[in-house]
């Protein structure tokens, strides 16, 4: 490869990264707006409606406020880790989008075959997402320890226990998807669900859909699993943070929420395929983003509806209910796949046979 070819390839990668990072950042800003409006609607009040028409400029005002606020670093904090912790939480949430396929395109007929719209179409894409997203745990631990304060370290330990507990259930739940699709490639998993809603994995794996989505709520610390930010701990692991460093943690949380919604749509809801083949005239990316937007609405709906769990209730749900449930469903799926007579029932969803 010549230097010119390398430069062109680097420029293409930079544009692809910008094409994902910029919409994600803008989406995070306006998800906060719609969250306040939806919760206001649920609670029969207005929500934010002062800045701009219908309050649409409120996210920009909030961003400007956080940017202008003073960033305070505690005198006895480990300054390097204190500053690095928010980035350690944000970066994994963003680079996980590198393997997320947003659809297929032939670029208006220029290519003979459709290409997957992803920065990298990895054969181990599902494993990559699980591995990279789990790295955000280190940012939480770093934030609590570097603050050199009792409340943040307690909050970071509780948050780490919560994230690890529910990652195990999420991982086992995704094993069943791999068993049906026969691949860890995210675009292959979507292709295995082609043909309409009856082919989607939400039907044979509906319990795993519930486990994955609820575990995703716990993974990103959303209500009713936001125990690391409750009043008894002041504000959890980011108690000592202010200004843009605090906003970086919030950006990481909402970025992870978008990622969980996209992954749920890809793994269980047919990805970019329409529920009825006749509706495939609508671009696949529109279907994928529409499904993800609905799941983000469900995240917000949970926040407006459910009371917060106690810590022991949350851990019991992860270890005593979700973990046995996922292990049992792996056994059931394996039994149907490899038992003569029963395999014909599940052959409908086995694209690799």
Q: Band of the pLDDT at 119, cuts 50, 70, 90?
A: confident
Domain count of the chain?
Answer: 1
Beta bridge partners of 115: 105
Q: Which two tokens stand for residue 161?
A: 């226990």
Please give the Cα distance from 116 to 271 (Å, whole number): 12
> At a CB cut-off of 8 Å and minimum separation 6, what does 297 contact?
38
Across the range 139-166, mean pLDDT stands at 87
Residue 303 has pLDDT above 70, yes or no: yes
Say what the pLDDT of residue 136 is.
86
Across the range 265-288, mean pLDDT stands at 89
Bigger pLDDT: 262 vs 112: 262
Q: Is the peptide bond before 224 cis (omega within 30 degrees of 0)?
A: yes
Is the residue at 24 inside a domain? no
Give residue 331's domain range: 30-45+60-349
> At a CB cut-off of 8 Å and minimum separation 6, what does 159 contact?
140, 144, 221, 227, 228, 236, 237
Please give the Cα distance from 147 to 199 (Å, whole number): 50
Say what the pLDDT of residue 112 is.
67
**Percent of all residues in the chain with a pLDDT value above 70, rounded to a whole number:** 95
Is the residue at 169 inside a domain? yes
Please give the Cα distance from 83 to 77 (Å, whole number): 10
Across the range 133-159, mean pLDDT stands at 87
| pTM of the entire predicted model | 0.91
Are 114 and 106 contacting, i.e. CB atoms less than 8 angstroms apart?
Answer: yes
Please give the Cα distance from 153 to 139 (Å, whole number): 12
Beta bridge partners of 105: 115
Say what the pLDDT of residue 269 is.
92
Say what the pLDDT of residue 194 is.
86
Say what the pLDDT of residue 213 is.
94
Say what the pLDDT of residue 2 is.
75
Is the residue at 299 inside a domain? yes
Please give the Cα distance from 211 to 209 (Å, whole number): 5
| Mean pLDDT taken over the chain | 86
Is the residue at 195 inside a domain? yes
Is the residue at 152 inside a domain? yes
Say what the pLDDT of residue 259 is.
92
Rg value, the chain, Cα: 21
Q: Band of the pLDDT at 284, cuts 50, 70, 90?
A: confident
Which of 146, 100, 144, 102 lies closest to 125 in space, CA to CA?
Answer: 100
Please give the Cα distance from 351 to 337 (Å, whole number): 12
Across the range 100-114, mean pLDDT stands at 74
Q: Which two tokens stand for residue 96?
A: 């996980």
Is the residue at 77 inside a domain? yes
Are 257 and 226 contacting, i.e. CB atoms less than 8 angstroms apart?
Answer: no
Say what the pLDDT of residue 299 is.
92
Using left for φ > 0, alpha for ψ between -120 and 50, and beta otherwise, residue 69 falls in beta
Say what the pLDDT of residue 232 is.
56
Listing DSSP states for 17-29 in one string gives: HHHHHHHHHHHHH
Across the range 96-121, mean pLDDT stands at 78
Is the residue at 184 inside a domain? yes
Residue 233 has pLDDT above 60, yes or no: no
Which of 125, 107, 75, 65 lies closest to 267 in space, CA to CA?
Answer: 125
Across the range 132-158, mean pLDDT stands at 87
Across the range 336-343, mean pLDDT stands at 82
Q: Band of the pLDDT at 338, cuts 50, 70, 90?
A: confident
Say what the pLDDT of residue 230 is.
64
312, burial (CB in 10 Å: exposed 0-12, middle 13-18, buried 19+): exposed
Please give the Cα distance from 264 to 214 (Å, whole number): 11
Residue 216 has pLDDT above 70, yes or no: yes
Residue 351 has pLDDT above 80, yes or no: no
Which of 20, 105, 102 lies closest to 271 in space, CA to CA?
Answer: 102
Please give the Cα distance from 34 to 25 (Å, whole number): 15
For 163-215, write each residue's pLDDT tens digit: 888 999 999 999 999 989 888 999 999 999 988 899 899 999 999 999 999 99
3-state secondary structure of 183: coil
Which of 293, 255, 265, 292 lies closest to 93 in space, CA to CA?
Answer: 255
Q: Given CA atoms 334, 340, 346, 347 in this order, what sign does their dihedral have?
A: positive
Say what the pLDDT of residue 350 is.
81
Bigger pLDDT: 269 vs 13: 269
Is the residue at 288 inside a domain? yes
Please give the Cα distance from 126 to 179 (Å, whole number): 13
Residue 335 has pLDDT above 70, yes or no: yes
Say what the pLDDT of residue 308 is.
84
Residue 340 has pLDDT above 70, yes or no: yes
């Amino acid at each position: 490869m010549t230097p010119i070819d390398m430069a062109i390839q680097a420029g293409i990668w930079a544009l692809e990264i910008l094409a994902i990072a910029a919409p994600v950042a803008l989406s995070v800003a306006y998800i906060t707006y719609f969250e306040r409006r939806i919760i206001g609607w649920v609670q029969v009040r207005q929500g934010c409606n002062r800045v701009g028409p219908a309050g649409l400029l409120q996210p920009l005002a909030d961003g400007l406020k956080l940017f202008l606020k003073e960033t305070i670093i505690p005198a006895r904090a480990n300054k390097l880790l204190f500053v690095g912790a928010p980035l350690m939480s944000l970066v994994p949430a963003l680079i996980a989008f590198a393997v997320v396929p947003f659809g297929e395109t032939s670029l208006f007929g220029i290519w003979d075959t459709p290409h997957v719209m992803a920065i990298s179409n990895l054969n181990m894409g599902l494993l990559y997402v699980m591995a990279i997203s789990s790295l955000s745990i280190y940012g939480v631990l770093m934030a609590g320890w570097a603050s050199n304060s009792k409340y943040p370290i307690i909050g970071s330990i509780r948050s780490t226990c919560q994230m690890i507990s529910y990652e195990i259930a999420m991982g086992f739940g995704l094993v069943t998807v791999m068993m049906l699709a026969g691949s860890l490639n995210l675009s292959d998993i979507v292709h295995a669900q082609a043909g309409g809603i009856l082919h989607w994995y939400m039907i044979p794996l509906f319990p795993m859909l519930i486990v994955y989505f609820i575990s995703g709520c716990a993974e990103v610390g959303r209500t009713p699993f936001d125990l690391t930010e409750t009043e008894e701990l002041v504000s959890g692991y980011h108690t000592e943070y202010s200004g843009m460093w605090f906003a970086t943690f919030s950006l990481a949380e909402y970025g992870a929420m978008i990622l969980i919604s996209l992954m749920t749509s890809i793994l269980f809801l047919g990805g970019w395929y329409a529920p009825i083949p006749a509706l495939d005239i609508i671009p696949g990316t529109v279907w994928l983003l529409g499904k993800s937007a609905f799941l983000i609405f469900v995240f917000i709906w949970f926040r407006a509806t459910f009371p917060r769990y106690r810590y022991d209730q949350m851990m019991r749900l992860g270890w005593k209910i979700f973990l046995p449930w996922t292990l049992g469903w792996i056994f059931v799926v394996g039994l149907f796949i490899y038992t003569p007579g029963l395999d014909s029932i599940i052959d409908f969803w086995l694209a690799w046979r």
